[in-house]
Chains A and B, each alone.
Chain A
Amino acid sequence: MQLLNKFLKMITFPDLLKGLKITTKYVSKKKITEKYPEEKRSYPYRYRGRIHVTIDTCISCRLCEKACPEGCLKVFPPPREIMKTDKRPAQFYFSQEHCLHCGMCVDSCPTGSIHHSHEFEITVFNTKELLFDKEKLPYDMLKKQYKWNLVENVPTKVEVKKKEEV
């Protein structure tokens, strides 16, 4: 009986058939590959993408500027008279070129105006586009795009100058 079993095993190649059976399972299984440009996967909550700043809640305390190890943040507080009523910065620079995505500024911000986004496609053709000022920074979370010149509440440079003149 054992001999017969051995003979049967020799003829029917059970190991090879087992391997073939395992590989067939994978044909109909779900594929791991992501079709990246067409389908984007969801990223974890704490994913460190490009930094987003909500200028409206910023109080111009400059803590982020001091915390940043690369010095890629620059905050210009408004003049003292305006500061009494409106603490939003007169100008705000953020250089993506040097940003390490370390998250120090996010930790240091007392009002939570700076936060990481899930945006990671930050490649550009011109390095000048990597420098963000106050007008470029605000980010519409619903439309998922920057409000380039749609800032109504935030005073622009010209308006600040006008106020100073007044």
Chain B
Amino acid sequence: MKKIIYILIVISIATSCGDDFLFQPPRAALTVGSFPATADDALLAVNGAYNILRAWQINTGGFPLLDFMADDVVKGSSPGDGTAVAPYDNFTHTAEEGGLERWYKTEYEAIRRTNLVINEVPNIDMEEDLKSRLIAEARFLRAFFYADLVRGFGAVPMVTEINAPVDLVRTPVETILNEIIYPDLENAIVNLPERSGYGAEDLGRATKGAARGLLARVKLFYKAFEDVEELTQAIIASDEYELMDDYADIFTAENEHNIESIFEVGAIPETFANGGSQFANTLGVRGSPNRGWGFGRPAYSWISEMEANEDPRLEPSVIFLNEELDGVVISGDGATPDTIYAGGDIVEIEAYNQKVWYPGTDTRTAFGHNKRIIRYADVLLMHAEALNENGKTNEALDYLNQVRSRAGMPEYNTTSQSELRDLIMDERKYELALEGLRFWDLVRTDRAEEVLGPLGFIKGKNELLPIPQSEIDISQGRIEQNPGY
């Protein structure tokens, strides 16, 4: 009997397990080192970076905060809804508003996805052309995200590796421009195909034109007009793009990836996980039909100006109550006043951004809207602006008039550089309204105080957003706040 006991004890110890029993890798997931390992992985990783362009938070934290701050848009929605983001309308926003943090952190999440590609794909043994294209796509996206960050927050921590050091400080804007944004986009211009170089199934990937357009937009913000002229000229000369005949066709569902579109974010009417984008749901018609929350409504002052100009672009840009769109009558939201008065004057009406309209009567279909990021009309206006600033006012006029005449507006024939400068800025306000560009146009041309001052804009402060308070707190103040916040 004792023997049996000893045998049992010995066996029970012998059945013991070693260290391999203690190695339990994650299930149904890979880790860095095992991914990306092949050409297929490289493509997956690049697609994974594009994926975040559809994320709700990448759009300034979900809500069009930049539009709220501009003069062409108001917070919108019903008066009681979104009181947390209402302060952007009058520049009383603080560093603790949650949308800001969502946006900032999601930009870095996006950058990490691109860094995965940029750092790991070069080590993969694969066809060189495809490899350099995929890396260039990731570098385009990285530049895109960094451009958002430096324009919004100024100096920010610069991360180029997969695992960022934990003790970063803010890197000057100049450094980020010169070490990331410019080289990334220059690489992308060299290594990306033109739009026509992609197969039909790949429409929507970054192109040479998109890289030039983005670089032009960044250069314009920093007033490098020579570069802007050259870049926009190259886009025009590429013969890849032209203006749509009818302004009203630019943003419709059937004209996604149209000839005027230089970069846009593909989406289908599904949940985010299945290919949708919530951007148009956030901005969509509130109430009936139920398309969304109604944030970022066109400002009444802008509508009035367009009406006074008899600008045909007003109607395709704005959904008015009782309008019929794609067979659907827009009756709007019961809780939102149709008209708001102050001192007997109309200050706000219930109207919605038509540029995000996607046919349908429910919220899910709104997820199918493709957000247009860069379009050819913007390139023409940038080109006109650069030419004018470079002393080529006569040449500039022609490009401005291309946009004017497509819109059905009379052409200009001024020869004054300063007059043309104002006309171009006005044209951007009419042509590119509700597209998230107006606020930065005012900031970069130093007109923000003049135009937005009455709304609460403070010079020397509101050119930048505050760094999210959590970032300052978590870093114990190593990341410093922008002035005035």
Does chain A bind chain B? Answer: no
| Interfacial residues, chain A to chain B (CB-CB below 8 A) | none
Which residues does B use to contact A, with CB under 8 Å? none
